[in-house]
Amino acid sequence: MHEPVLLEEVLEALKIRPDGRYVDGTLGQAGHAVAIASRLTTGKLLGLDVDEENLRTAEDRLQPLGDRTLTRRVNFRGLQEILRDVGWTEVDGMLFDLGVSTGQLTGPRLSFDSDAPLDFRIDPAAPDTGASFLARADESSLT
């Protein structure tokens, strides 16, 4: 299981209120999200991730926290629309832990270590694989 980096510093910076609304825009395996939602009473945490496998893991970890959490399989770039869809006009804090986790890098989709098709998509529903990109790229676009 991926351990969240700088957890205490993140929690301190977010200044979590028990009745607040928070967004974890890069939910991952919910390390930060569990810690945030555990501090809520009537508040809510909205977790977003495009990686379906991570989202399933996150939902399992968040399940004991009940209705304090909601998740969506989406990219955070559509955050305004997502907030509108869940009926939120304001949030009290947001977290974006950008990058990939060690767990993602060891799987065949994002790794050079596996004898598997060159994929490199965080979101497996995205149309362009690493192989298709390289097939049409010229040398100048790669350097």
Is CATH 3.40.50.150 the right assignment for the domain spanning 7-98? yes
Residues near 82 by beta carbon (within 8 Å), at least 6 away in sequence: 46, 48, 72, 74, 76
> pLDDT by residue (tens digit) across 104-131?
666 666 666 777 778 777 777 888 888 8
pLDDT-derived band at 74 (thresholds 50, 70, 90) equals very high
**Cα–Cα distances in angstroms (integers) from residue 54 to residues 31, 47, 89, 115, in the given order:** 11, 11, 27, 22
Phi, psi of 51 (to 5 degrees): -85, 110
Q: Do 21 and 91 meet the contact criterion of CB atoms below 8 Å apart?
A: yes
Q: Which residue has the higher pLDDT, 135 or 65?
A: 65
Cα–Cα dist 89/24, whole Å: 16
Neighbouring C-beta atoms of residue 101, cutoff 10 Å = 20
Structural domain spans, the chain = 7-98, 107-142
Write down the pTM of the prediction.
Answer: 0.80
Residue 47 confidence (pLDDT) above 70:
yes
